[in-house]
Amino acid sequence: MHFGFSYIGLIFLLMLFIPNFFWTKNKPKDYDQYARKENKVLLILERAGEVAVSCLVLVFSDFNPQGLSVWLIWLVAALGCMILYELYWIRYFRSEKTMKDFYSSYAGVPVAGATLPVIAVLLLAVYGKNPFLFAAGVVLGIGHIGIHLMHKKELVGKEKDDINSGLPN
């Protein structure tokens, strides 16, 4: 592992932060009701993972391409996940911006808005042979994906309740 600036890390962070900036103005209806019920342990893991990942991807130059090698496959796969993440956001911003839209799958990936960037971070960690980023990605994944799976489970339960409440007795 080599300390130094990672422009690949910066690109990944921009790909993460830019859509999230626009999301703050385009949150799904009722999102705040779900957010209030978030598991505090998962929230702490998510925040710790976000901080660690954001720092680590920038301070190790190992994430920058080091020439042609078989390891480049991991970087290409990570970039592919980030491209799918951007496409997920395009679809979300074009949608009605409901909770169902926000927690939808994309390209077969469940809760794609949470899952794709975590997978990308883990693949980038493998490419850079960086166990610190991998560990931070696992912590982020447990918190971030865990929270979003809980929201989706709550959403599915609410939809079932709504359907059942409309049935005649």
Place of tokens 């799958």: 105
Do the Cβ atoms of 8 and 74 come closer than 8 Å?
no
pLDDT of residue 156: 85
Q: In this predicted model, what pLDDT tens digit does every residue of 125-162 receive, in sequence order?
A: 999 999 999 999 999 999 999 999 999 999 888 776 66
Beta bridge partners of 3: 60
Longest pairwise C-alpha distance within the chain: 68
Lookup result for tokens 């839209």: 101
The DSSP line for the chain is: --BS--HHHHHHHHHHHHHHHHHTTSPPTTHHHHHTT--HHHHHHHHHHHHHHHHHHHHBGGGS--SSSTTHHHHHHHHHHHHHHHHHHHHHHHS---HHHHT--BTTBTTHHHHHHHHHHHHHHHHTT-HHHHHHHHHHHHHHHHHHHHHHHHHHHHHHHHHHHTS--
d(CA 125, CA 76): 12
> Where are the chain's structural domains?
7-64+78-164
Half-sphere exposure of 84 toward its Cβ, with a 13 Å CA cutoff?
22
User: Per-residue pLDDT tens for 26-85?
Assistant: 999 889 888 888 999 999 999 999 999 999 999 999 999 988 999 999 999 999 999 999
Chain centroid to Cα 115, Å, comes to 5
Distance CA 169, CA 167 (A): 6
Whole-model pTM? 0.90
State residue 55 phi and psi, 5-degree precision: -75, -50
Q: From CA 32, how far away is CA 46, in angstroms rounded?
A: 17
165, pLDDT greater than 80: no
